[in-house]
Amino acid sequence: MDHSNSSPELSDGQAPQPVLSLENVTIELQGDTILKDVSLTLYPGEIAVLIGPSGAGKTVLLKTMAGLFEPKVGHVLCYGHEWKKLSLTDRHQLAAKIGMQFQQSALFDELTAFENISFVLKEHTHMSESEIQARVMECLTAVGLEKSQALHEYELSGGMKKRLGIARAIALKPDILFLDDPTAGLDPVNSDNMAELILSLKEQIHATMAVVTHDILRAYQLAGRIFLVVDQTVIETGNAEQTQRHSDPRVQQFIHGWLHGPLTEQ
């Protein structure tokens, strides 16, 4: 893996303790190797953005970080705890620190926007009805959907569904937030608004975030560090400026959208 960007450091020069680490991870699905010998680390409060061609394994990587996929080889540690070594109870407790917005929204279409969030709180907390109502409205307001609380999932636009997915993902006040292509299918204005919403949420909830996107402009807008998922591996390309100057021709082809290059001539 290419470490062209140094890890964040504290003011005294000490590197902070990682929130999440992948150590020499290989992931196979149905006998196919998706990612091989991948190592990366997420640090407190940063936004890491995963970019790369369709089908390269970005979503698989995100779900592996979240403990939803178990690697065939290697170790995935969240707050120093290895997912596969935890008991079911401990896994649930650790998973409660994580919020995830799925690419296909995974919302309940028979529930209203309000009910989609309150369901999570009723399932995973002992909050009272009044506390749940207050928290739901707090989450809906954070994503600008407070006036749409009574709408059902099928009544929402694509962008509204994505915002509702994020509102549900932050309901339990997670320490880590995984967002799977939150700007996909949005027009440029709404895509930009979504990115600004994510940056605003970062200031509000101070979570460590990993975001998948195909949009290089959004990657530049959001990222502290950018990772290119390609050829079964992950290349850490650095921040926006470092990514633009990166020497790997695969990085240059992807960020410029060139038709010809190593990504299309293999």
Residue written as tokens 């409205």? 137
pLDDT digits (tens, 9 = 90+) for 243-258: 999 999 999 999 999 9
Q: Average pLDDT for residues 62-81, to the nearest whole number?
A: 93
Q: Average pLDDT for residues 210-222, to the nearest whole number?
A: 93
Residue 10, pLDDT score: 45
Q: Average pLDDT for residues 76-102, to the nearest whole number?
A: 90
Q: Which residues contact 143 (CB under 8 A, 6 or more apart)?
A: 163, 164, 166, 167, 197, 201
Confidence of residue 190 (pLDDT cuts 50, 70, 90): confident
Residue 4, pLDDT score: 38
- Whole-angstrom distance, CA of residue 266 vs CA of residue 246: 20
Residue 9, pLDDT score: 47
Q: What's this model's pTM, rounded to 2 decimal places? A: 0.87
Structural domains for the chain: 16-97+174-266 (3.40.50.300), 107-173 (no CATH)
Residue 266, pLDDT score: 63
Which ranges constitute the DSSP H helices of 33-76? Answer: 58-65
Mean pLDDT of the chain: 89
44, with CB counted inside 10 A (0-12, 13-18, 19+), is middle
pLDDT digits (tens, 9 = 90+) for 4-55: 334 454 445 566 789 999 999 999 998 899 999 999 999 999 999 999 998 8
